[in-house]
Amino acid sequence: MSSNSVHLLSFITLILIMVTNAYGVVDEYVRDDFPADFVFGAGTSAYQYEGAVLEDGRTYSIWDTLAHYSGNNIYNGANGDVACDGYHKYKEDIELMVDTGLEALRFSVSWSRLIPNGRGPVNLKGLQYYNDFIDILISHGIQPHITLHHSDLPQILEDEYGGWLSRKSVKDFVAYADVCFREFGDRVLHWTTFNEANVFALGGYDLGVLPPGRCSYPFGYINCTNGGDSTSEPYIVGHHLLLAHASTVRLYRKKYKATQHGFIGINIFAYWYNLDSNTIEDEKAAERAHDFYEGWFLNPLVYGDYPEIMKKNAGSRIPNFTKQESERIKGSFDFVGVNHYDTISIKNNPSSFEMETRDMYADMAATLIVNGTDMFPTQSEITPLGLQKLLNYLKEKYGNPPIYIHENGQGQPRNGTLIDTPRVEYLHAYIGAVLDAIRNGSNTMGYFTWSFLDLFEMLSGYKTSYGLYYVDLDDKELTRYPKLSAHWYASFLKGKNMSGIFENVNSQETLSSSY
């Protein structure tokens, strides 16, 4: 190498050290460094936010049932009966969204509020709630991004035919989606069929920790007294979700796309994996885990069938697609929604093949090591390079699909502090990672932090929280207070230069401290 090249290389290295931070991602950026049509927002979901579970005609969903199930050791007796009382407080919350400078809100529709019998008549009060919600968002220039199913199938359909275990769910879901497109599609351009389709099937039917809480010994994380078969049900449910998704997209494209001009996709959860040891075995285990988590849904959507390794390891427990189904599923998305929180370690686990029966994790033959041993840690570590690598991986493996980061944020114990410094550090680092990924060619089109305010949490009830706004549960008004992270995000969205973590974050500025 000539001495000129050596100098050039040292110069480039110096620049890189100056602009990246300790996490290895860009440190200094402004909102306008992102593409003009890139969108920044925050998220909620119906059961976690709305409360009012039996008000104005709403009926129970499978999430209500799990939260009220006495054998449930996940929520410590808590439930979403009131949650953030968003059904009554949404107008004030939208004011806070405006204060924060949100460009978009990701939220879900409660199927059992809109169509209390699961199919058939529309509940006019429910319809009015969502219409009003959407209208107010739009009047403030906040884009509504709607998820149709966030773990909350109407309980009545679970009781009638076993919910997602039955193929009948496909038809009912498509009919429900049809109502949503018809009623809201004149104002809503972004639709997601399922939140975390992969985790819904795994958590709800293998581990039992998510609605409807089904599992079978020895696989569940709860006592599997609700019924279930962890060896086959996750695969059956995943299959029905894919069929329902594809039929819904088909309906949207045939009946609504030409007049409404919207976009429709599905959402999946994804980790990034660090190898436990630098061996070819662990490298292959990581590849299998990607196939079992993301590939389970993305392979059919992009290539028309499940990953080969899933078909091989699950054998007859994973259903087949007919030729027509495969053709219908392939290409049935305008974007992929990705929820990413953590990088975890992964280790090859061949011994799982010796088990008499196998669940999906055993089929994966990999051990996932989350924060040491805790499967559900209360606080994510800050590993933004994982997100950058994940976006790059999805770009390479699935033909660079348009991606929305639908969820990213840091869970923390819900202890009432408004100075959530680690969350600010987390957001600063992960948004930097998204910018780096875009500069490397990823087709990422938006970023939503989870969550806009502290919600009823999926794996902990009210023990952990992800919100930019604290919700005081001891106050019957459920007053909201901005955390430092709300000030940080607002500063960023209002165009301030985010170099370093705390510069330009003025916690005294205009954000309302409470209603």
Residues with active-site annotation? 196, 407
User: Can you tell me which of 143, 457, 482, 498 binds ligand IFM, judged by CB under 6 A?
Assistant: 457
DSSP letter at 275 equals: E
Contact between 201 and 244 (Cβ < 8 Å): no
- In the complex, what is the shortest distance from the CB of residue 191 to ligand IFM, in angstroms, rounded to a whole number? 18
Q: For ligand IFM, which stretch binds (CB under 6 A), given 160-168, 225-233, 429-437, 452-460?
A: 452-460
> 378 or 400, CB closer to ligand IFM?
378
Q: Which residue has the tokens 């709630």?
A: 129
Question: Nearest-CB residue to ligand IFM?
Answer: 458
CB 471 within 8 A of CB 84: yes
Tokens representing 210 are 């998510």
In three-state form (DSSP H/G/I as H, E/B as E, the rest C), the secondary structure along 422-436 is HHHHHHHHHHHHHHH
For ligand IFM, the closer of residues 136 and 403 by Cβ is: 403
Q: How far is the CB of 67 from ligand IFM (least distance, A)?
A: 13
Least distance to ligand IFM, CB of residue 428, Å: 20
Q: How far is the CB of 192 from ligand IFM (least distance, A)?
A: 12
Conformational region of residue 25, where left means phi above 0, alpha means psi within -120 to 50, and beta covers everything else? beta
Residue 487 host element (H or E) = helix 484-493
How do strand 39-43 and strand 263-269 relate by DSSP bridges? unpaired
Ramachandran class of 83: left when φ > 0, alpha when ψ lies in -120 to 50, beta otherwise: left
Beta carbon nearer to ligand IFM, 32 or 374: 374
Neighbours of 399 (CB within 10 A): 10
Q: Does 231 interact with ligand IFM (rule: CB under 6 A)?
A: no
Position among 184, 271, 306, 450 found at the interface with ligand IFM (CB under 6 A) = 450
* Shortest spacing between CB 478 and ligand IFM, in angstroms: 18
Instruction: Please give the DSSP secondary-structure letter assigned to residue 71.
Output: T
Q: Shortest approach of ligand IFM to residue 321 CB, angstroms?
A: 27
Of the listed pieces 92-100, 177-185, 450-458, 504-512, which binds ligand IFM according to CB under 6 A?
450-458
CA pair distance 46, 253, nearest whole angstrom: 26
Footprint (CB under 6 A) of ligand IFM, residues 186-205: 196
Q: What is the CA radius of gyration of the chain?
A: 22
Q: Binding ligand IFM by CB under 6 A: which of 179, 459, 493, 501?
A: 459
Q: Establish if 64 lies at the interface with ligand IFM (CB under 6 A).
A: no
How far is the CA of 246 from the CAs of 24, 235, 300, 318, in angstroms? 39, 17, 10, 18
Using CB under 6 A, count the residues that bind ligand IFM. Answer: 10
Residues 381-420 that bind ligand IFM (CB under 6 A): 407
Piece in contact with ligand IFM (CB under 6 A), picked from 271-279, 293-301, 311-319, 456-464: 456-464
Binding-site string for ligand IFM from residue 314 to residue 353, where x marks contact by CB under 6 A and - marks none? -------------------------x--------------
CA distances from 491 to 27, 407, 499 (A): 15, 20, 12
State the DSSP string of 188-203: --EEEEETTHHHHHHI
C-alpha 28/C-alpha 16 separation (Å) is 12
173 CB neighbour count, 10 Å cutoff? 27
Report 138-197 residues binding ligand IFM (CB under 6 A). Answer: 196
Q: Is 108 in the site for ligand IFM (CB under 6 A)?
A: no
44 belongs to the binding site for ligand IFM (CB under 6 A): no
Residue 370 binds ligand IFM (CB under 6 A):
no
Rank residues 83 and 215 by Cβ distance to ligand IFM and give the closer one. Answer: 83
DSSP H helices, 154-266, are 155-161, 168-184, 197-202, 233-251, 257-260
Q: Which is nearer to ligand IFM, 270 or 429 (CB)?
A: 270
Q: How far is the CB of 48 from ligand IFM (least distance, A)?
A: 6
- Residue 45, token pair as written in the block: 């979901």
Give contact residues for ligand IFM (rule: CB under 6 A).
Answer: 45, 48, 196, 339, 407, 450, 457-459, 466
